[in-house]
Amino acid sequence: MDLIVSRFLYPHLSPMWHPYTWLLRKRFSLAQITVSPAGWPRALDRLKVLLISDIHTGVFLKPDILSDIIDSLMGLKPDLVTLAGDIVTGHSSEVSHFLHCLQPLSGATLGAWYCFGNHDYFGGDPDDIRKNLDGIGIGTLKNESVVLTHGNGSFVLGGIDDLILGKPDWVQLTSQNGTPHLLLAHNPDHFYDAEARGVPLTLSGHTHGGQIRLPNGPPIIRQSRFCLDEGAYAFRSSLLIVSRGLGSVGIPWRWGADPEAVFIEVIPPS
């Protein structure tokens, strides 16, 4: 249903009805958290990470609003920008109209990095998203990892393919540079597999926090079978942070789960 609505229905309705433009400008917020994951490299300096997920370029989002949000977020001077999937809504070509808005993200000291989400597979070729992002200096990690040097130490950043429509391959991911210290995984239900492999910190989106939630109640439609809806979670020695994300799908509205980005300070364990 999500695929049908995203690809074939709302592109025709959006010229007549796009209330999300107003809602995003008014209700977008920044969440902040400091974490110290066990297993994090002890020699690493404090790391400032900006997590943005579920941008959903396309029918509900306007470039000027996205530009304003990106510019304000980059004013925080993150060391690393992470983009946790679903950069489009219904077709891989949608991101092409927003590349100039996204380009400032690549100015982070350690760059900006992307992993694929389920909407990235709804239409077109996901490799077109990779090519478009490469063109503005944003790298894509699909069952891949990179080693990043920060201060007096280094860490491994990895990205696992989408759980629903992608082909996640843990063997390929971990064979390159070992187990990632920081993992981008669009779907938070990857978390327990990540913990079993010794990943200290996983960053996710996908759930939109439910997008529509009654006061003090659960999401009307839950996107995580483990109820990993939003916020921070701990299991054994691993941590997970789930962002409600920036965009909207299905309907151009959110209630009880406002759009957000997350600013994370990672401190080595003492």
Averaged pLDDT for residues 36-63: 94
Please count the CA atoms within 13 angstroms of the CA of 18 that sit on its side-chain side. 16
Give the per-residue pLDDT at 20: 84
What pLDDT was estimated at residue 16?
A: 57
At 188-230, the pLDDT tens digits run 999 999 999 999 999 999 999 999 998 888 898 899 999 999 9
Taking the domains of the chain in order of start, what are their residue ranges?
Answer: 2-266
Alpha carbon distance 210, 136 (integer Å): 31
Give per-residue pLDDT as tens, 106-146.
999 999 999 999 999 998 999 999 999 999 999 999 999 99
* Side-chain half-sphere exposure of 128, counting CA atoms within 13 A: 13
202 contacts 168 by C-beta, under 8 angstroms: no
With 0.85 as the threshold, say if the pTM is over it. yes
Task: Give the Cβ contact number of residue 59 at 10 Å.
Answer: 23
First to last CA, the chain: 48
Exposure b/e, 121-160, CB count within 10 A at least 16 = b: bbbbebebbbebbeebebbbbbbbbbebebeeeebbbbbb
Residue 98 φ then ψ, to 5°:
-120, 5
Q: The CATH number of 2-266 is which of 3.40.50.300, 2.60.120.200, 3.30.420.40, 3.60.21.10?
A: 3.60.21.10
